A and B are shown apart, each in its own frame.
Chain A
């Protein structure tokens, strides 16, 4: 089974530019999450999709961030325009649909996309 795939693995952009991060979850996983870790700090929740619907986007920092999940499959996270404080590692994670089993408790993470804004 393929894992969660994220790309690019590393992106270096200048302040004011736009970056789009992509996540391909495990096939069949309804839940898709975006998290961010700023250096040395906690892995912070950004938002949660259930299929193509945004279940919770309370962690999105501001309206410069836009997440989409086309057809309930892959997801993109766009930052426009990027600011210095957006630098960090962006993780995507997925989990199965919540049901009788405990599978929905287990988040499978991608390797992350490291964003550096200069």
Chain B
């Protein structure tokens, strides 16, 4: 049973547009929600993260929106650039010894 559900599977955005990736979870014990960015041939790398007591976190062009009641969170990439083209994974941490659950990934292609 997949603990974190992510959509869409792939996304094509024009340069300068907004990329939005959505995730949903069921386990209310999750206490930390990171997003990872993966470029081809590399491992996933932490991009931005949020705790459930905060509704929004912004770092540069990247924003996480968190809806605790709906058990959903999303990544928004403003002014998307071709260099943002990568696979993005949402994740959630269980409260037992740092066990992380990942979504299935979204392959983002930002067209010039």
Chain A residues within 8 Å of B, Cβ to Cβ: 4, 31, 33, 35, 37, 40-45, 48, 50, 55-56, 91, 93, 95, 98, 104-112
Contact = CB atoms under 8 A, between A and B. Distances in A.
Q: Which of B2, B93, B97 neighbours the largest number of chain A CB atoms within 10 Å of its CB?
A: B97
Nearest to A92: B43
A39 B45 CA distance: 19
Closest 7 CB pairs of A and B: A109-B43, A43-B102, A42-B104, A111-B43, A109-B44, A42-B102, A110-B43
Contacts of B32: 105
B35 to A, nearest CB: 12
Given A91-B43, A105-B32, A111-B42, A42 B98 contact: no
A42 B49 contact: no
Majority secondary structure of chain A interface residues (helix, strand, loop or mixed): strand
B62 interface: no
Contacts of B12: none
A37 B103 CA distance: 10
A44 B104 CA distance: 9
A56 B102 contact: no
B11 interface: no
A43 B89 contact: yes
